[in-house]
Structures are given as structure tokens and as C-alpha cells.
Amino acid sequence: MFMDVCIPNVGHPENVRTWALEKKLAEIPAGRVSFDVFVGPGSGGAAWAVPMSFGSFALSIRGTTHACAVYARAANPAEVESYFRKILEGAARPGLVVNIVKDSNDSGPTGTIHTLIYRVSAEGNERRGNLYTLVTTERSGGAFQATLQAAKYVDGP
């Protein structure tokens, strides 16, 4: 879903909304705890439950950043990270700059929380581009165990 929805529609939340409507996904209403987790603060966000036979997933547009995000309630953190790295490192080519801007591990109620953020920009224009974020938790039990997010960024004027 991340490859099919978020990557091609980074910076275009209206396209994510259209995709969710076309797939007839059930919107998660504002005011629910899960909405707050998937959308976060800010306005203009939305979240949808994504039924799949092999797990519980959600798709969202983040409120503040308008990032496209995919969440998995339970996942294999190592597999998700491997998949994520393969996508981002595979994007590297002449004229494109792919950098890791954060790779950290923190403690939380579900064990180690791993955050990995890549910045992808055109060579010579590193102040704007896309940010791709992975967050995984060591154990399931929270609202999600893995999320992948894609957002536009502009650093400075």
C-alpha cells in the first residue's frame, strides 16, 4: 500500500483521499483514539481502516504535515525496515540525493522504538524534496507496530 498509494502521491493528499474513496475504505471518525494516533494534530487530516486478510492496517493523511501514512497493528519490524531501506536506497541515482537524516532507537511501552528518516531531493536543491519515515516498535500491543510515511518538505525560504 505504501508503494501504491503514498509514494506516487507524496505531496498530493487529495489523491490519497480519492484512492481511499475509490477503494470504498471506511473512514475512521474524528474523536476516536485511533484517529488521533493516525492523523495527529493539525487540520485537514483523515484516516481509513484498510481491511486485509493478513492483518489490521490503516491509511492516513497526517494533519500537520499532510504526509501519507500506512500503519500496521502487528508487523515484523526487521522485515518492514528491510523493505523500507530497499525502496529508499534503490531510489539513488545520478541527480538524486538520498540521505539518512535520522536513525534512532528509543525506549517505549512496547520496547525499542526505531525511527528511520530518509530525505530525497534533487542534486543542488537539497532544501526541498521528500521525507520518508519509518517507525517500528519491538513488540505489538500499541495502536501500531509499524508505520511508513511520505511527505514533502521545504527547508527555509
**Residue 112: how many other CB atoms lie within 10 Å:** 13
pLDDT at 156 over 80: no
Convert the pLDDT of each residue in 50-93 to its tens digit.
988 888 999 999 999 999 999 999 999 999 999 999 999 998 89
Answer whether 39's CB lies under 8 Å from 62's CB: yes
**What DSSP string runs through 105-117?**
EEEETTEEEEEEE
Q: Distance (Å, rounded) from C-alpha 38 to C-alpha 143?
A: 9
Short-list 119, 116, 128, CA closest to 85: 116
Convert the pLDDT of each residue in 9-52 to its tens digit.
999 999 999 999 999 999 999 989 999 999 999 999 999 999 88
Cell triple for residue 96?
Answer: 538524486
Q: How many domains does the chain have?
A: 1
Cβ within 8 Å of residue 123, ≥6 positions away:
94, 95, 96, 97
Per-residue pLDDT at 24: 96
Per-residue pLDDT at 22: 97
Q: What is the mean pLDDT of residues 95-109?
A: 95
pLDDT at 144 over 80: yes
Q: Distance (Å, rounded) from C-alpha 72 to C-alpha 87?
A: 18
Convert the pLDDT of each residue in 6-17 to its tens digit.
999 999 999 999
Per-residue pLDDT at 126: 87
**Please, what's the b/e burial string for 26-63 (b: 16 or more CB within 10 A of its CB; e: otherwise)?**
eebeeeeebbbbbbbeeeebbbbebeeeeeebbbbbbb
Q: Which helix (H) or strand (E) holds 73?
A: none
Per-residue pLDDT at 143: 86
Scan for cell 500491543, then name that residue.
Answer: 141
| Residue-number span of the structural domain to which 130 is assigned | 2-154
Per-residue pLDDT at 155: 85
* pTM of model > 0.85: yes
